[in-house]
Amino acid sequence: MQAIRNSGCSCLTSTFDWEAKRRLTEARPDGLTRRNLDSVYVASESALPTYFNLHLSLSRLRLLARPSSFALTRDLSQPDDEVAPPRVLIVGERGVGKSTLLKMLVNWRNRGERAVCGTARAPSGVTVVNLDASEGQWTLPGTIGLASTSAILPTTSPAAPMGTSFSSGPPVPFPPPTASTSASSTDAPPPYHPPVNVDAYAPLVDPLVFFAGHLSSSTNLPHYELLMQSVADAAKRKVDAAGVDSWKAGWMVDTPGEWAEKKGGGWERIKAAVRAFEINVLLVVGSERSYVEMTKLMNTNKTVTVVRVPKSDGASDLDLSTLARLQALQTRAYFYGGPALTQGLLSPFSIIVRLSDIRIVRVGEQAGSHAPSSALPIGATRLTRDTELVEVDLEGPRAASEVVNRVLAVPMAEEERDGQEKVVKGPVMGFVWVSALDKDKKKITLLSPLPGRLPRKTLILGSIDWVDS
């Protein structure tokens, strides 16, 4: 708050209290007082009781969930009497608080699971899926993915809204209390010191990330739909391998705000996500009009329950400049880390690679470089599909404008061994950033989280650019 106040920016915040007995104090140690605030009011209504009742309903569905007798015994004579766990898809317009609602539901579920398990057994995790490529929940913008977590997800930084991912850097150093601070006055409360265990303060999650390459799912829709199906298949494999308790926890899927709009094919993507993830609970956050439209959309699917959830008063839509700064912060945090207290600082490496040692490709042709399919002659088909790898000419006249200041994804699959299909629809192991291209010396300079040679020769190019300032 101090940095925000000194920079002259405004801040919108909302606080909920179950007992409604707390209030803003007249003075605080950081200098923030009620006189510094433009507007302070106590709302008579809040969406939090509805959110908590929704959490209780999902908990009941988890208790009633039961795998089929065939899945447990693999006996063909056993009936398929499965009672599915809650598989939740959250939709709504931009800025209605979909990601915040998902995070609250996940944290409430994990807190209850830890209270039940105690020290007798390890708590089971719930699977979180992000389909919004513009947010970059765990790594960079332009990605989608999933993660299974049994810990509380803190918001320690806007760059990591869904927890901290595993990093190649050292653990976050928490200084132990010193003798001078511990020998303070008996009247004043002792100063707060973060716990030594980093997992207790910033839980580490191990996400499986897929590189869409663009901030919007409509830029290359065939590739995005292929990745969405890969994410759904990976979620099913992860849940099946984790055991019955994780299967009963189900999964929660966050979606882009553009899906709530009929134009642009948003509704068709909702139906595709319902089929891919076997959704049985569709949460509609926001207006009643969206709820009515989603109810009509799911009218033929009797296995899906559509629930309207009110928008929280603290949710607000980000303007384009704020969103661009947040995306740049996420990209910088991937390479350099930060903030230092909760995320730790990283030291990336600048490596120089010969052009003959790498192959930079993009999935499909460059956006805007070809005419739409409707403009083709009758009976003609496009030579390059939107899900094929197209190599970038690094010695061409437009090479510098195409790759410099762009983020490249390092795929897990190896093109020569696994084929192009697994490179296109498979997950990625990390990212590098192009800082310079020297066509005369036939070398390219990359910013990499790790030193040494790149683990893959093929690198995937998208439209995610960033300037290291």
For residue 288, the domain's CATH number is 3.40.50.300
Buried b (16+ CB within 10 A) or exposed e, 329-350: ebbbbbbbbbeeebbbebebee
Enumerate residues 6+ apart whose C-beta is below 8 A from 53.
Answer: none
**Residue 276 is assigned to a structural domain of this protein:** yes
Can you give the pLDDT at residue 123?
Answer: 82
Is the confidence at residue 447, as pLDDT, over 70? yes
Can you give the pLDDT at residue 366?
Answer: 66
Which is nearest to 346 in space by CA: 78, 161, 167, 84? 167
**Residue 238 is assigned to a structural domain of this protein:** yes
**Residue 325 is assigned to a structural domain of this protein:** yes
Is the confidence at residue 124, as pLDDT, over 90? no
Among 95-99, 263-267, 356-360, which is the least confidently predicted range? 263-267
Same domain? For 147 and 76 the reply is yes
Same domain? For 208 and 305 the reply is yes
- For residues 465 and 376, the answer to whether their CB atoms sit within 8 Å is no
For residue 366, the domain's CATH number is 2.40.30.330
Among 160-174, 279-293, 384-398, 407-421, which is the least confidently predicted range? 160-174
Domain boundary at 302, 332, 362, which? 332
**Residue 18 is assigned to a structural domain of this protein:** no
Q: Coil, strand or helix: which one is 310?
A: coil
Same domain? For 281 and 413 the reply is no
Same domain? For 259 and 407 the reply is no
Cα(337)–Cα(329) distance, integer angstroms:
10
Can you give the pLDDT at residue 276?
Answer: 95
Backbone angles phi, psi at 353, to 5 degrees: -125, 140
The half-sphere exposure of 101 on its side-chain side, counting CA atoms within 13 A, is 33
Among 194-198, 375-379, 460-464, which is the least confidently predicted range? 194-198
Cα(445)–Cα(401) distance, integer angstroms:
14
**Residue 14 is assigned to a structural domain of this protein:** no
Which is nearest to 214 in space by CA: 317, 325, 140? 140
Can you give the pLDDT at residue 7?
Answer: 39
The residue to which tokens 């919007």 are assigned? 216
Same domain? For 67 and 147 the reply is yes
pLDDT band at residue 466, thresholds of 50, 70 and 90? very high
Can you give the pLDDT at residue 3?
Answer: 37
Among 14-23, 125-134, 291-300, which is the least confidently predicted range? 14-23
Give tens-digit pLDDT for 13-46: 667 766 655 544 444 444 445 555 666 667 667 8
Q: Is the peptide bond before 339 cis (omega within 30 degrees of 0)?
A: yes
Can you give the pLDDT at residue 235?
Answer: 94
Chain centroid offset of residue 162 CA: 7
pLDDT (mean) for 81-90: 91
- State the average pLDDT for the chain: 81
- Domains: count for the chain: 2
Same domain? For 432 and 352 the reply is yes
pLDDT band at residue 375, thresholds of 50, 70 and 90? low
Can you give the pLDDT at residue 98?
Answer: 92
Give tens-digit pLDDT for 98-116: 999 999 999 999 888 888 8
Is the confidence at residue 441, as pLDDT, over 90? yes
Can you give the pLDDT at residue 376?
Answer: 56
Cα(225)–Cα(317) distance, integer angstroms:
26
For the packed helices 221-242 and 266-277, what is the interaxial angle rounded to 10 degrees?
20
Around Cβ 393, how many Cβ atoms within 10 Å? 10
Cα(341)–Cα(166) distance, integer angstroms:
16
- Our CA dihedral for 189, 193, 194, 196, rounded to 10 degrees, sits at -130
Cα(149)–Cα(128) distance, integer angstroms:
8
Same domain? For 203 and 283 the reply is yes
Please give the order of strands across the beta sheet that includes 349-354: 349-354, 443-448, 428-438, 406-411, 458-465, 359-363, 389-391
The half-sphere exposure of 78 on its side-chain side, counting CA atoms within 13 A, is 12
Q: Are strands 208-211 and 143-149 parallel, antiparallel or unpaired?
A: antiparallel
Same domain? For 317 and 363 the reply is no
Most confident of 118-122, 216-220, 378-382: 216-220
Q: Coil, strand or helix: which one is 28?
A: coil
Sign of CA dihedral 89, 90, 93, 95: negative
Give tens-digit pLDDT for 139-191: 899 999 999 988 888 777 788 888 878 776 665 554 444 554 444 455 666 66
**Residue 188 is assigned to a structural domain of this protein:** no
Same domain? For 308 and 397 the reply is no
Same domain? For 260 and 392 the reply is no
Three-class secondary structure assignment of 137-173: CCCCCCEEEEEEECCCCCCCCCCCCCCEECCCCCCCC
DSSP code of residue 430: E
Three-class secondary structure assignment of 242-301: HCHHHHHHCEEEECCHHHHCCCCCHHHHHHHHHHHHCCCEEEEECCHHHHHHHHHHCCCC
Chain centroid offset of residue 246 CA: 20
- Residues of the chain above pLDDT 90, percent: 44
Same domain? For 159 and 205 the reply is yes
pLDDT band at residue 384, thresholds of 50, 70 and 90? low
* Residue 408 belongs to domain spanning: 348-371+383-465
Can you give the pLDDT at residue 193?
Answer: 55
Give tens-digit pLDDT for 52-83: 999 999 999 999 998 887 666 666 666 667 88
Can you give the pLDDT at residue 25?
Answer: 42
**Residue 414 is assigned to a structural domain of this protein:** yes
Same domain? For 320 and 230 the reply is yes
Can you give the pLDDT at residue 108?
Answer: 92
pLDDT band at residue 352, thresholds of 50, 70 and 90? very high
- Residues of the chain above pLDDT 70, percent: 76
Cα(264)–Cα(216) distance, integer angstroms:
11
**Residue 67 is assigned to a structural domain of this protein:** yes
